[in-house]
Amino acid sequence: MFEKKAAVFLYAVSPVHLGAGQAIGVIDNFIQRE
């Protein structure tokens, strides 16, 4: 379908993470914030 292939790297100005950062446990990724 596509003839050319290239790697894509995304760069964020500030740290990007999932979750609110308020959970006690290791996993805290309910929704993505800002």
- By three-state DSSP, how is residue 18 classified? strand
Residue 18: the pLDDT is: 58
Phi, psi for 26 (deg, rounded to 5) = -75, -40
When the pLDDT of each residue in the chain is averaged and rounded to a whole number, the result is: 65
Distance in angstroms between the alpha carbons of the first and the last residue of the chain: 35
Q: Is the pTM of this model over 0.75?
A: no
Given this model, what pLDDT does residue 9 score? 74
CA–CA dist 15, 23 (Å, integer): 18
Q: How confident is the model at residue 5, as a pLDDT? A: 81
Q: Give the per-residue pLDDT at 32.
A: 53
Domain ranges of the chain: 1-34
User: Tens digits of per-residue pLDDT, 1-34?
Assistant: 678 887 777 776 666 665 555 656 656 555 555 5
